[in-house]
Amino acid sequence: MVKKPSELGGIYFKTLDERDEYIRLLLDKSQRVLEGQELALVFDLLLLHPDANNKIGTGVKQIEVKPSRQRTDYNCFWVVREDGTIDDFSYQKCKYNLDRLIVKRRESAYREAVVNQTWEYRFVQTNSKQVCEICGASQGLQVDHDQPLFSTLINDFEKNRTDIPKEFEDATGTYLSKRFCEKDSEYQKSWQQYHQQHAVLRLLCKKHNLTRKRKEES
């Protein structure tokens, strides 16, 4: 699987545009069976395809670049499976998941940094007998970011920064997937202060917190 936000098949891309350009050139070149680094990169892409399991099927024998079914003047990727069957897949479909993965990993690091703040909030509020703001439930309460949304807080914070981290560490030992790297500890401190000042928290029961998160994502 892809290990770093912008890394595919061992190639590190500084920007998303740079990555798009690399893949466009890869597809523009002649029809061929992919090898080496190109193969590693496209295999990583395939794993991000929304229908990866079916595309891979009995296993990947090789991946080729050749014209798509719909447009003969336009190349796409083709999987040749172990059983000899073939299927095509487009970068656009994989790209959507990749961009989403990057956003989620980044958000995870920001969340990890303020986990103590939200726990403290929950502790204080549940001790003073606060209930779900929507239904009045008193059990299984979770902390929700009221307006501004968590994603909005991140975007607003990043606006004034020129040192936004591009890489994150695996957050082992927590329920979140990524955390800020050691070298970004000053950045993390500023974010913690920003969050302390700007976040508006509230308690919601598990059900209402989930309903709300689904809305946010759609």
Residues that bind Zn ion (CB under 5 A): 132, 134-135, 137, 205, 208
With a CB cutoff of 8 Å and minimum separation 6, the contacts of 117 are: 192, 195, 196, 199
Task: Select 10 or 140, whichever has its Cβ closest to Zn ion.
Answer: 140
Q: How far is the CB of 122 from Zn ion (least distance, A)?
A: 15
Q: How far is the CB of 127 from Zn ion (least distance, A)?
A: 19
Task: Select 49 or 208, whichever has its Cβ closest to Zn ion.
Answer: 208
Q: How far is the CB of 133 from Zn ion (least distance, A)?
A: 8
Task: Select 103 or 135, whichever has its Cβ closest to Zn ion.
Answer: 135
β-partners of residue 204 are 142
Task: Select 193 or 211, whichever has its Cβ closest to Zn ion.
Answer: 211
Size of the chain in residues: 218
Q: How far is the CB of 140 from Zn ion (least distance, A)?
A: 9
